[in-house]
Amino acid sequence: MTQNGTIFRPSVRRVTAAALAMAAATALAVNAQPASAASHRPCTIVKHSNTAGVTKVGTATATVGADGIKLTTARSTNADKVSWQTSFRPVLASTVNEVSYETAKLDTTAGDNNVVNDAALPAYHIYVRTAGGDGVLIFEPYYYLATVGAGNPQRSVRTEWNVLSGPLWTSSTTIAGLPKTAGGPATLTFAQVVAANPRMTVTGIGFGLGTYNAGVSSVLDEQRFATTRDCSEHQWSTGFSNGGWWPGWLR
């Protein structure tokens, strides 16, 4: 573990004593990229057992599994897109102190980013409101990794991304200090955006795997958002539909 951005860790969902014993017996070591943990605290868990609210464009797919929601785009196409958004009562952006999520990149390189995008993972979306109107801040793991010289994300490694540590970009024209772009580069951290927009509020969160990300297959889970007063974490699992949950690697 290092001091910025990501952490590689097992899921923190509740499992039985038997599951914990099995986990200890079957744990595997992985090589971590530059990482750091957010300081997690007890959080309201919002459970999703299906893909309600997920929007798919083209041949993109979204499937809830035992250990998250799997998002895919087709190889050699730039038209596919999959996204999800939830809204809540606006909170002052200056009170936000924890924003994170977990991903695992499952696709296999084709040696050509037009066939399979080796850099792409689902992005974390933070929906905001400023004096200029509504907008969105977008965190992509690739841009964080670029700031620390780590290259493309590892495959088949479940990674927690600390969104507050990474640079953001926007597709909006309403955020002072952050020009609208069509996909980056990411230039300001969340704290820097707040400094330039001191009365900005956050109105929702979401995720997106956008166009021009061909051939991506990734699991996303444990999407967390917290302020000094409240904390919520969105989790996706087929286990929620029957009242139980087992991590996929124990099935």
Instruction: State pLDDT tens for residues 181-195.
Output: 999 999 999 999 999
Q: What is the pTM of this model?
A: 0.85
117-147 tens-digit pLDDT: 999 999 999 999 999 999 999 999 999 999 9
Average pLDDT over residues 171-184: 97
User: In this structure, which amino acid lies at residue 57?
Assistant: V
Q: List, in order, residues 6 or more apart from 39 with CB less than 8 Å away.
A: 98
Return d(Cα 239, Cα 251) in angstroms, integer: 11
Six-digit token string for 12: 């923190």
DSSP states along 114-137: TTS-TT--PEEEEEEEETTEEEEE
In this predicted structure, what is the pLDDT of residue 5? 53
What is the sign, positive or negative, of the torsion defined by CA atoms of 209, 213, 218, 224?
negative
For residues 200 and 12, which has the higher predicted lDDT (pLDDT)?
200
Of all residues in the chain, what percent carry a pLDDT higher than 70?
A: 80
In this predicted structure, what is the pLDDT of residue 241? 78
- Count how many residues are written for the chain: 251
Helices (H) then strands (E): counts for the chain: 3, 13
In this predicted structure, what is the pLDDT of residue 243? 56
49-59 tens-digit pLDDT: 999 999 999 99
Return d(Cα 78, Cα 67) in angstroms, integer: 27
Average pLDDT over residues 173-177: 98
Six-digit token string for 100: 């994170």
CA angle 219–165–171, rounded 5-degree value: 70
Q: Which residue has the tokens 């300081």?
A: 39
Average pLDDT over residues 195-206: 98
